[in-house]
A and B are shown apart, each in its own frame.
Chain A
Amino acid sequence: MDQVIEQYFDLSVMFDGQNFDEVLGGFKYTLMLSVIAGVLSLIWGLVLAILRQLPGRLFAPVRWLTIAYIDAFRGVPMLLVLLIIYGSLGALYSQGVIPEWLGIPRWFGLPDPFWVGVMAITITYGAYMAEVYRAGIEAVPHGQTEAARSLGMSHGQAMRYIIVPQAVRKVVPPLLNDFIALMKDTSLVSVIGLIEVVQAGRDIQAEQLNSSALTLGAILFLIVTVPLARVVDHLIARQARKTGRGGQARSTGEAPPTAGLGMGGGVSQ
């Protein structure tokens, strides 16, 4: 029994100075990858969602392309995207297709697997998040668009000032859920050689025939993901309370009375 516990929870392995530093160093990459790719996915997803909603016949090709993109990257494993980008970048660079000045991405002193990871995650999770945004945009009552248009706003203005701000508020919880999934998926980038937290733990496991460093990695994940999940629960409960209180929610009565938004802010004379 002791051996079993030791295999997974050997504190001397976890907190051995060098092991601990390696795992923590790996987790630093995990966090940076999550935050940078997370923010980029949020932006890219919104861009895709808006492209998908462009009106009129003129933009039909844009809509189709966007739908095709979203379908494609929701439907293939991220690992595959990761491997394609990583392998192809090197090959294209050596063939001179990628110009010298652009080079292989090694910005801010971070290794190229890191930036390839950022790309693959953004490409993939952007597609997921686009669908979340779309659900939010479609959940805004049509009367809002009509009110905005009847005041003379263009489609773009209606989206920017009226629809998207309401949509984003509605989709914060599902987006955070996606972010938690994204964070866990950063471990896939270990496959192309980034020593993030999982790879760091694996190296120690292989060397010392003990899994405790991986357990430590799991604990580090949980320290971040569990509170995030609680925040999501809290936000969902709050939204439910709001819609519940308003009874049959009309087109109104859903947004929190947050001061300082848009024009409402600075005026209190």
Chain B
Amino acid sequence: MTLDGAATAAAASNGATLRLDNVHKRFGELEVLRGVDLELQRGEVVCVVGPSGSGKSTLLRCINLLEPPEEGHIYLEGREITHQARRERAHDIDFVRRRVGIVFQQFNLFPHKSALANVGLAQTKVLGRSYEDALEKAESLLYRVGLGDKLNEFPDRLSGGQQQRVAIARALAMDPHVMLFDEVTSALDPELVKEVLDVLRELAAEGMTMIVVTHEMGFAREVASRVVFMDGGVIIEEGPPAEVLDNPRQERTKQFFGLVLER
């Protein structure tokens, strides 16, 4: 990238850690994202809420390029990551994956690896850390998410909540600048939700920049710096939690939270 180009990109991102500009994503006929604009400052915690099929998960998957958007631009730390040219795309992907971690609803732990190896593997293979450093880091992260006694367990011997905490540790091991959480408690039994949300709370308190797609309104109210309400592939409303959750301006938002509260 030329100096000029770098300057333009930096200007385009307004100094935001992450900026989405008119992002569109289609799956065949179905347009899942229909022009999303979003900005994230460093240390912000944005909770994305909305009905199923509103494009929340797709939004996260676009940001880390698991599903590259067809239209629009995404800037991460001032660099565009949505180049269309094949050659640049590989660099984009590499750039994003080293800075953005994602945790999935279904955990997706590697079932043939112990908790420690799940957290350690990519450190050695992707970041080139030594075996010892990777293990040390994996161990300390697993302690941090409260799994110090499960280091050598395999995923099928862990509860859903424990598996999800391993998955969080696995993503954190790559020293991400931004973390994406895709309905990380939706596959969990109710009594296991808290242990996972506690880890997220802690991360937020430590100043991690994160986007949390969630149905846990209580969590959003408590932790989010900003709540984003999505429906039909666009952002309907965004603002401080008290505003969006308790006093929404848009009809659609009112309707949604009305339904949620009635339950």
Contacts and interface: CB of A to CB of B under 8 A. Distances in A.
A165 B104 contact: no
A264 B152 contact: yes
Interface in A167-190: 169
Given A151-B170, A257-B157, A169 B112 contact: yes
A149 B116 CA distance: 19
A253 B155 contact: yes
B174 interface: yes
Contacts of B112: 165-166, 169, 255, 258, 261-262
B254 interface: no
A162 interface: yes
Interface string A136-163: 0000010110111111110001000110
A14 to B, nearest CB: 48
Interface string B15-51: 0000000000000000000000000000000000000
A143 B117 contact: no
Contact of A255 (B111, B127, B135, B174): B111
B114 to A, nearest CB: 3
Contacts of B113: 261-264
A264 B117 CA distance: 5
Contacts of B97: 149-152
Nearest to A261: B112
Nearest to B120: A263
A169 B64 CA distance: 30
Contact of B106 (A148, A149, A166, A250): A250
Contact of B108 (A161, A166, A251, A268): A251
Interface residues of A, number: 33
Interface residues of B, number: 42
A144 B98 CA distance: 18
A95 interface: no
B155 A150 contact: no
Given A262-B112, A264-B114, A267-B135, A150 B152 contact: no
B106 A251 contact: yes
Contacts of A263: 113-114, 116-117, 120-121, 124, 131, 134-135
Central interface residue in B97, B101, B167, by most chain A CB within 10 Å? B97
Given A143-B106, A166-B111, A262-B112, A149 B66 contact: yes
A151 B96 CA distance: 10
A157 B125 contact: yes
B154 interface: yes
B110 A147 contact: yes
Nearest to A142: B108
Contacts of A161: 121, 125
Given A152-B126, A157-B126, A246-B156, A254 B104 contact: no
B163 interface: yes
Contact of B111 (A148, A251, A259, A267): A251
Contacts of A150: 64, 66, 97, 101-102, 171
A252 interface: yes
B126 A267 contact: no
A140 B109 CA distance: 12
B117 A251 contact: no
A153 B109 contact: no
Interface string B78-113: 000000000000000010011001101011111111
A63 B172 CA distance: 36
Interface of A: 141, 143-144, 146-153, 157, 161-162, 165-166, 169, 246, 250-255, 257-259, 261-264, 267-268
Interface of B: 64, 66, 94, 97-98, 101-102, 104, 106-114, 116-117, 120-122, 124-127, 131, 134-135, 151-157, 163, 167, 170-171, 174, 187
